[in-house]
Structure 1
């Protein structure tokens, strides 16, 4: 547990140090009126308090990603926790801060518009299609995973839970944001805190420690899956996640002061990092070995691990409450995923969303398509989601780097994580069965060379201007 609390301490320290540096480099302007004030429409642009926005943002981004991903990541051993900590501080939270703040500066625009503003029209059109595909995959994943858990708890067939969750998504997607999301999600946030703290206390009381790993940071995966690049795809939402770039604009439309950005966007990602650390630690500690953890995963996937760990540490009642928290997490991300997809399509079509009829014109076909996708195998959907998720993060980080370079600011805070994640996603696509299936050595060379060429192109096109040039313009 000492290693766990040290990692949590590093995340908190990162918020107060590196997060402050990121804020200073961006330069929030509290005197500027935010879109929540200047464009209030009572539907999507609705002013809300910072605390409420923080909890909603945390729930929006914390689906099953910071639970399922770290559980799978625990198979690699304690090294997974290092990626969560350093990935979160130097990449994920930076990504979330800029995706939120650049949206605020762009009148609450969705991620394709933000990307297009800084990387060009081609990037905007590509991101329009890519972001909607990602959000559809997220929405479907976040239907199937809670439906599976609810089915195991109630013994009601999964198809009925899928239908019920889709029905709720339709409602939450079209009603004003403060009617359901803004009103009930802070309460769900409290349940999330209870679940997280309760499981940590349960683990401490149980006296369980890491399963015979000590501080071994080598690859401990029982089936010898490679750390590179799989760990950085497997643990996404707890370290860096492009899905967050699609969610941050929702809260950018509700934030009342730019100075709140570090607390809301950078801070919510740190909170998600803590959740990821908790579940990675549980995976490392609850089972006797990586083989035992892998056996449970093989029999019922991460949902089975959640069920065993929660009931094993908190008993029947506490376990059910903890599991309900895990059920609520994906549902509260799935509905906002579909909501974000609606807004992206609306922005692309330049269609106002104040009349409910126009919201339904986009929402209904979207949910029909989502239902069709849900009929595919969950494992296949999850693999495509993982790659699409990290690729979206890559594009957003390059867009943020371009913004900083054009403003004459220190762009490397975004460029370096963009370079790293570019190498990850290209290597993975070259090597993975869902990609080109090449050998790892060749795939890695392709990833590194492609990253070097993209970085060179970026440095040529977005030559960092001098501060004096910015002032002259």
Structure 2
């Protein structure tokens, strides 16, 4: 199979989905209105609620949702063959992820920017909200702790990425000042910012930063984990226009250019895919493709984390409600294209099937390393960019994706801490909530070992937890649509499919954890399953009531009390 054919078919599918299906969702299902007031204007505070240009906001949303997962998941899942991964990514992007992300963004905007956790209280009930928050908190803990490990690993294994990764923060701060303080022309600032980032990549390729074996008594990997948490904590407290927005926007442009480089190399080199379409000779111990494929590839097909970003930060910055189609659905399209690129890099970036099989010798192999290795080979062959620089470009792209997700993840987890505090009658400020998040995250990271890799301890639960959350988010969107007597089938079909596959996968994992004696993961998995199923039952009851209850109008959306918001 020629990788160029796969790339053309995949890109055509997701772009057609944006052109046609997202328009249907925007006009017939969610009925986006250009005149509907948005929380960014109604509750503008210059910190979290900031009306934002849709292209800048798309950059924030895209890079926040597209962390390392759309690279890791597909680059692992190709162990079952490239065809199942390709189909799940393309079909999932069009009919699952885009609809989910746009729906969560719309639901939050229509409810004064409330998080999906808070919305569960209004539309499902208090019990459902409390259990929902348990799932949300655990998922954010997994994302923040594990992504810190992924990023630190890349900074150690690819020292040429250190300068561009940290230099991107300085560029972002300057871009934020130029756009919001200097009121400078956005296209001009964008060009200068991107050139600065690629200039840093060239510098980094020539000046690799290799840490000594011990830094402040920590290994290089542990040191980077510590620095990443401290940075994310500070970033989560700054106004979104100062760092979060411009960093994500410039990164989004740079990352799209990086994808362009990869796809251009595929177009020129047209490497053959050496991996089988369907792998019938998987290594011993590889789990069944059903249901594991559908939780191994989460981001890139559908991801519950996206709902938290849509309702946590993006909804508070939406300038016009109609911008939600571009920000939410096209953000999912960008991630689908990244996942497709990961599939191609991990299957066409090797010379022979034997070389590929040597990498995929066991389930869980591949991931970011396969993406960087295979992708750099394709870029070198197609565009003639030296292998070291090719690897630096792709490694920097992967790190920046993961880092922007971690930035947003810490901010979102801070919102959850404040939300939980409200439930018990306490009011917690930003600083204290952020400190709680950092203590819990670093406690997990360093509690299981001095190298800071403890974040990977509960990572095996990420896929199932993430997909369960996606199903729960869709259940809330379905209740809202039913109350408004809107078409609900586009939500119900993905809702049922995702819930069945994720619960199935969670039950399979229970057996695995029990047989291996992993009691911590077994206990957490059971808690997640019980909480998710309970919310599903509550949601089912809420749907039944919604079908027979009074019709909810758009005016009812405006009556949501401001006190329920999680931002302070």
Q: Deviations over 1:82-110 (max 9, x none)?
A: 00111111111111111111110111111
- The DSSP-based 3-state class of the residue aligned with 1:306 is helix
Which of these residues, 408, 423, 438, is aligned with residue 336 of structure 1? Answer: 408
* 2:35 equivalent to 1:38: no
Question: Which residue number corresponds to residue 443 of structure 1?
Answer: none
The Cα shift of 1:30 comes to: 1.9
- C-alpha contact (below 8 Å) 1:221/1:290 kept by paired residues: no
Question: Which residue number corresponds to residue 190 of structure 1?
Answer: 253
* Alignment partners' CA distance in 2, 1:382 and 1:192: 25
Q: Deviations over 1:199-258 (max 9, x none)?
A: 222234334111163xx4575644453210000000000000000111112011001111
* 2:55 equivalent to 1:68: no
- C-alpha contact (below 8 Å) 2:484/2:551 kept by paired residues: no
* Alignment partners' CA distance in 1, 2:400 and 2:508: 34
Which of these residues, 367, 373, 380, is aligned with residue 302 of structure 1? Answer: 367
The Cα shift of 1:129 comes to: 2.1
Question: Which residue number corresponds to residue 522 of structure 2?
Answer: none
Q: Deviations over 1:348-398 (max 9, x none)?
A: 4349xxx9x921111012101101212445554321111111111010011
Change (3 A) 1:245 1:328: same
The Cα shift of 1:454 comes to: 5.7
* Alignment partners' CA distance in 2, 1:36 and 1:186: 18
The Cα shift of 1:294 comes to: 5.2
- C-alpha contact (below 8 Å) 2:124/2:539 kept by paired residues: no
Question: Which residue number corresponds to residue 260 of structure 1?
Answer: 323
RMSD: 3.0
Change (3 A) 1:220 1:63: farther
Change (3 A) 1:220 1:124: farther
Question: Which residue number corresponds to residue 472 of structure 2?
Answer: 395
Question: Which residue number corresponds to residue 229 of structure 1?
Answer: 291
* Alignment partners' CA distance in 1, 2:411 and 2:355: 39
* TM-score between the two structures when normalised by the length of structure 2: 0.75
* 2:245 equivalent to 1:241: no
* Alignment partners' CA distance in 1, 2:63 and 2:141: 18
Which of these residues, 222, 227, 231, is aligned with residue 164 of structure 1? Answer: 227
The Cα shift of 1:455 comes to: 11
- C-alpha contact (below 8 Å) 1:66/1:272 kept by paired residues: yes
Question: Which residue number corresponds to residue 121 of structure 1?
Answer: 126
* Alignment partners' CA distance in 1, 2:231 and 2:445: 16
- C-alpha contact (below 8 Å) 2:283/2:361 kept by paired residues: no
Question: Which residue number corresponds to residue 12 of structure 2?
Answer: 9
User: Larger Cα Rg: Structure 1 or Structure 2?
Assistant: 2
- C-alpha contact (below 8 Å) 1:220/1:290 kept by paired residues: no
* 2:387 equivalent to 1:382: no
Question: Which residue number corresponds to residue 27 of structure 1?
Answer: 31
* 2:144 equivalent to 1:81: no
- The DSSP-based 3-state class of the residue aligned with 1:209 is coil
Change (3 A) 1:293 1:258: same
* Alignment partners' CA distance in 1, 2:351 and 2:292: 23
* TM-score between the two structures when normalised by the length of structure 1: 0.89
* Alignment partners' CA distance in 2, 1:389 and 1:290: 32
The Cα shift of 1:310 comes to: 3.9
* 2:495 equivalent to 1:422: no
* Alignment partners' CA distance in 1, 2:361 and 2:321: 46
Question: Which residue number corresponds to residue 145 of structure 1?
Answer: 150
* Alignment partners' CA distance in 1, 2:239 and 2:456: 34
Change (3 A) 1:288 1:76: farther
- C-alpha contact (below 8 Å) 1:88/1:270 kept by paired residues: yes
* 2:423 equivalent to 1:345: no
- The DSSP-based 3-state class of the residue aligned with 1:394 is helix
The Cα shift of 1:288 comes to: 4.9
- C-alpha contact (below 8 Å) 2:61/2:327 kept by paired residues: yes
Question: Which residue number corresponds to residue 50 of structure 1?
Answer: 54
- C-alpha contact (below 8 Å) 2:294/2:501 kept by paired residues: yes
* Alignment partners' CA distance in 1, 2:20 and 2:264: 28
Change (3 A) 1:435 1:407: farther
Gaps of 5+ in 2: 160-209, 212-219, 381-386, 449-453, 516-528, 557-568
- The DSSP-based 3-state class of the residue aligned with 1:17 is helix
Q: Deviations over 1:322-359 (max 9, x none)?
A: 211111110100110110111222234349xxx9x921
The Cα shift of 1:4 comes to: 2.0
- C-alpha contact (below 8 Å) 2:142/2:455 kept by paired residues: no
Q: Deviations over 1:34-59 (max 9, x none)?
A: 11001011111111100000011000
Bigger mean CA offset, 378-387 vs 456-465: 456-465
The correspondence of residues 179-218 of structure 1 with structure 2, limited to 5 A, is: 179-211=242-274, 213=276, 216-217=277-278
* 2:430 equivalent to 1:367: no
* Alignment partners' CA distance in 1, 2:53 and 2:256: 19
- C-alpha contact (below 8 Å) 1:407/1:465 kept by paired residues: no
- C-alpha contact (below 8 Å) 1:57/1:251 kept by paired residues: yes
Change (3 A) 1:469 1:56: closer
Change (3 A) 1:321 1:333: same
The Cα shift of 1:280 comes to: 0.8
* Alignment partners' CA distance in 1, 2:143 and 2:38: 29
* Alignment partners' CA distance in 1, 2:539 and 2:51: 42
Gaps of 5+ in 1: 439-445
